[in-house]
């Protein structure tokens, strides 16, 4: 058994291993809030991570090592996450009188009833929830299982980078925590149904939260790289030239009409389609707010395009909006990267997770 979903009192580095980059973030507690101590982003070689799975362990580990060199952080304890698609969760009921060790022993014996994999191939853990409303003397227990290879690849990559993996979390939980912080930083309400659209380079993940708690996740193979690819095709540029042009804004006058607007419309359609899947599988038929996260979230005019098309308030995530920032951090760059750091932020808040031990 791995210890899972246990509360941690010490702060951790949040490291988000994405499809095109790896991001490191360190927050420190400051009064009732937090301070950004360190952050850095390193690009990953193409194909190093494919659909949230590490395909080139050495390449990912080397970039994580470079992150450590860049930030010169004094901490070596890290929280990282596995995607929800790699995790099976189930809520079961157990006697509330059982101690944690007794509960663990019983789950170990009965786990094959709930997990459709050979038990020697999975990491399993649990967390007590609230008392059962249906059965007196019983408590709801959240059971979670993930294939060990998904955990081990991340642990091994971080080990190459010189870090000690203390927590392997689940992405949806990290997003929950980041959203709670975001509400405080941007004066948003966590009430109601909120859709968070995390747009990565090649994959977009939709998280739907109800009153701040994740109730739905959907992954789609579509991401911000589509914009770069369109620029390359339209203007005959290399990948590096296209990325440089996006950053500098030095693009032809026709760019907005020929490339940017179609990309924004396509991204809006992707979100609308995902929401329709959510509505068709739930009792809900509307969302109260959309939060854009990920590298493409700050695309010029994207939030307003989505808000107009979907008739729903749409904001770009900035979990550091009111935070104090260390003098070691480039404030302007952090502001540009803020939306892409939601996952790393949730991990840096020292959460619940598969704890390697």
* pLDDT digits 0-9 by tens, 335-355: 999 999 999 999 999 654 444
Averaged pLDDT, 192-199: 97
Homologous superfamily of domain range 204-316 = ATPase, nucleotide binding domain (3.30.420.40)
What are the CB-based long-range contacts (under 8 Å, 24+) for 104-113? Answer: 104/1, 107/1, 107/141, 107/143, 108/1, 111/143, 111/145
pLDDT for residue 85 is more than 90: no
Residue 247 has a pLDDT of 78
d(CA 290, CA 197): 7
User: How sure is the predictor about 2, in pLDDT bands with cuts at 50, 70 and 90?
Assistant: very low
Class of domain 86-147: alpha beta
* Whether the Cβ atoms of residue 252 and residue 235 lie closer than 8 Å to each other: yes
3-state secondary structure of 308: helix
Query: How does the average pLDDT of the chain come out, rounded?
Result: 90
Averaged pLDDT, 192-211: 95
Residue 32 has a pLDDT of 86
pLDDT for residue 357 is more than 70: no
Numbered ranges of CATH 3.30.1490.300 in the chain: 86-147
Q: What pLDDT digit, counting tens, does each position of 270-299 carry?
A: 999 999 999 999 999 999 999 999 999 989
Q: What percent of the chain has pLDDT over 70?
A: 95
Q: Is CATH 3.40.50.9100 the classification given to domain 3-85+149-186+320-355?
A: no
Numbered ranges of CATH 3.30.420.40 in the chain: 3-85+149-186+320-355, 204-316
pLDDT for residue 303 is more than 90: yes
């Amino acid at each position: 058994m791995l210890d899972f979903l246990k509360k941690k009192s010490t702060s951790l580095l949040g490291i988000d291993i994405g499809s095109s980059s790896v991001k490191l973030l360190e927050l420190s507690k400051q009064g009732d809030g937090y301070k950004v101590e360190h952050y850095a982003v390193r690009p990953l070689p193409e194909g190093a991570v494919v659909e949230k799975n590490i395909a080139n362990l050495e390449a990912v580990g080397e970039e994580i090592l470079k992150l450590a060199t860049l930030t010169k952080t004094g901490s070596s304890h890290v929280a990282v996450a596995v995607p929800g698609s790699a995790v099976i969760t189930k809520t079961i009921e157990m006697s509330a009188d059982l101690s944690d060790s007794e509960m663990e022993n019983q789950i170990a014996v009965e786990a094959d009833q709930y997990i459709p994999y050979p038990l020697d191939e999975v990491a399993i853990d649990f967390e007590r929830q609230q008392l059962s409303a249906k059965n007196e003397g019983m408590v709801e227990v959240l059971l979670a299982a993930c294939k060990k290879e998904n955990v081990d690849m991340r642990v091994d990559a971080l080990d190459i980078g010189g870090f000690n993996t203390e927590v392997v979390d689940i992405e949806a939980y990290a997003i929950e925590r980041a959203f709670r912080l975001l509400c405080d930083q941007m004066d948003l309400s966590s009430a109601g149904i909120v859709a968070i659209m995390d747009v990565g380079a090649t994959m977009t993940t939709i998280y739907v939260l109800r009153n701040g708690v994740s109730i739905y996740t959907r992954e789609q193979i579509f991401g911000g790289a589509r914009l770069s690819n369109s620029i390359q095709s339209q203007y005959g540029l290399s990948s590096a030239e296209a990325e440089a042009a996006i950053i500098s804004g030095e693009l032809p006058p026709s760019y907005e009409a020929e490339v940017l607007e179609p990309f924004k419309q396509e991204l809006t359609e992707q979100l609308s389609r995902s929401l329709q899947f959510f509505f068709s599988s739930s009792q809900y038929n509307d969302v109260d707010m959309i939060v854009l996260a990920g590298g493409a979230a700050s695309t010029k005019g994207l939030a307003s395009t989505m808000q107009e098309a979907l008739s729903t308030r749409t904001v770009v995530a900035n979990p550091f909006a009111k935070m104090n920032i260390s003098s070691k951090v480039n404030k302007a760059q952090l502001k540009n990267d803020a939306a892409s750091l939601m996952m790393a932020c949730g991990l840096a808040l020292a959460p619940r997770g598969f704890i390697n031990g």
